[in-house]
A = this chain, B = another copy of it.
């Protein structure tokens, strides 16, 4: 768990506790006050840690958020479970495969919903602070692999592009729901709509 910059890496338990406290304090501040109210000073204060200590592990605000994003991503991967592996190994029909993938994703998105929402809405996009970016890239990779393996089940065309379009589109709808209509993530409605969206788009005929 190396810090991004040349900062110290915690070796003892109390140091790990310190780092943990800072990250969780940042999470609380994000939820309570928003992204631009998050500062290194405030995070240190809320964590009950000296500002000097904080700067031993994090070079700036971005480094803290990056660690937080990384943590959430890890938690989501746990929530996702073995879906990825299962998908990659089995040979489900298109419709079912998409459904499974979306179910896993929905489960992952239910992790720390309020925090995710804040990050989604307020953190800079497209960089290491973008919670969804790594996730989307991972899914595109997966879909692409499946498509190469079973071309017969998909429409002809640019595989890279198709995978990217399908995943990006579906994810955007999920993110939009997470940000503006969280209740939609609960039922199966959205899952079914997006299954249709992606599977129809990718299917031959």
Q: Which residues of A contact B (CB under 8 A)?
A: 35, 120-122, 124-126, 157-158, 161-162, 164-166, 168-173, 175-176, 179-180, 189-190, 193-194, 196-197, 200-201
Contact = CB atoms under 8 A, between A and B. Distances in A.
Contacts of A122: 124-125
Contact of A169 (B124, B169, B180): B169
A175 B124 CA distance: 15
B201 A161 contact: no
Given A121-B125, A121-B126, A125-B121, A173 B165 contact: yes
B189 A169 contact: no
A197 B201 contact: yes
Contact of A170 (B35, B169, B193): B169
Contacts of A193: 157, 161-162, 165
A166 B126 CA distance: 23
The 7 closest A-B pairs by CB, nearest first: A172-B172, A169-B169, A200-B200, A197-B201, A168-B173, A121-B126, A165-B193
A162 B196 CA distance: 11
Q: Is the interface of A mostly helix, strand, loop or mixed?
A: helix
Contacts of A171: 172
B180 A176 contact: no
A159 B52 CA distance: 56
Contacts of A161: 189, 193
Contact of A197 (B35, B169, B175): B169
Contacts of A173: 164-165, 168-169, 172
19 contacts: A121-B125, A121-B126, A122-B124, A122-B125, A125-B125, A126-B179, A157-B193, A162-B193, A165-B173, A165-B193, A165-B194, A166-B197, A168-B176, A171-B172, A172-B173, A172-B175, A172-B176, A196-B201, A200-B200
Nearest to A194: B165
